[in-house]
Amino acid sequence: MFERIEQLMRENNVSAYKLSKETGIAQSTLSSWKNQNKIPRVDLLQKIADFFGVEIGYLTGKLDKTKETPKIQRKIDASTVNLKNVKVMFYGDYELTEQEKKMVENVIKGVISSRKDERNKKIII
């Protein structure tokens, strides 16, 4: 069963740390599943299935994947864009100034805001 979880992690470029953080499932729990020391609880499997956008039956091996596994979707809005913690930003070999970083942040916010209007106030990336 864990082989399918690992496959989804590879396909979506998700580390065990990120999966743990996003689902609230301890990394040690994931490791014990991998080593077959513990059997996953259904509620925890459902969290993983929801995270990857697959049916729980796919994780348990009862369902085959009939179509491309969707990429992980996260809702964001322009208010979440914040580059203040970015210490250094480059364009090629050129280090951007604080003013240029702010301009980049504003462009990102503008793109997100315009896409939200087009998608009924939601954006999924």
* pLDDT on residue 118: 56
Residues across the chain: 125
pLDDT value at residue 56: 86
pTM, two decimal places: 0.52
Task: Report the top-level CATH class of 2-60.
Answer: mainly alpha
pLDDT of residue 48: 92
Mean pLDDT per block of 10 residues along the chain (125 residues) reads 88 91 92 90 90 87 62 58 72 83 84 64 48
Cβ proximity of 73 and 124 under 8 Å = yes
| Residue 19: CB atoms within 10 Å | 20
Domain boundaries, the chain: 2-60, 78-118
Using CB atoms within 10 Å of the CB of residue 80, give its burial: 0 to 12 exposed, 13 to 18 middle, 19+ buried.
exposed
Place of tokens 């050129």: 94
The pLDDT value given to residue 66: 47
CA distances from 72 to 22, 39, 103, 105, 118 (A): 11, 25, 28, 23, 21
Q: What is the pLDDT at residue 27?
A: 92
Q: What is the pLDDT of residue 53?
A: 86
